[in-house]
Amino acid sequence: MAERKPMKKQKNFPKLIKNVPYEIEWTDTFGYTGWLTEEEIDEKINKPSTCLTVGYFVKEENGLIVLVMGRETGRDDFAPYNTPKFVPRGYIKSIRRL
């Protein structure tokens, strides 16, 4: 059995400001269907799924950073946030303010 590598210490990211757009690069979970050999698993494990998500920061809670893809700013009678994305902080590689 292969040794488990220790988790890397989380990076220090900038303080995020509500309603400001950011680009977040993060590693998503991924998987494959079917039967694989240990060698095939070793090949796949070295090719993680990296994602870029762009959106407006809303909040951080329970280890999740919440970005939304759109905001309504002109009406009080309408839900203000469109298409929220919940990104686990521990999976984040970089954050860039736009």
| Per-residue pLDDT tens over the stretch 18-70 | 999 999 999 998 888 999 999 999 988 888 889 999 999 999 999 999 999 99
What is the number of other CB atoms lying within 10 angstroms of the CB of residue 51? 14
Is the distance from CB of 38 to CB of 81 less than 8 angstroms?
no
* pTM of the predicted model as reported, rounded to 2 decimal places: 0.77
Is the distance from CB of 92 to CB of 60 less than 8 angstroms?
no
User: Where is pLDDT greater, at 87 or 31?
Assistant: 87
Q: How far apart are CA 33 and CA 52, in angstroms?
A: 24
Task: Indicate whether 88 pLDDT > 90.
Answer: yes
Task: Indicate whether 91 pLDDT > 70.
Answer: yes
Beta bridge partner(s), residue 5: none
Q: What does the pLDDT read at residue 67?
A: 97
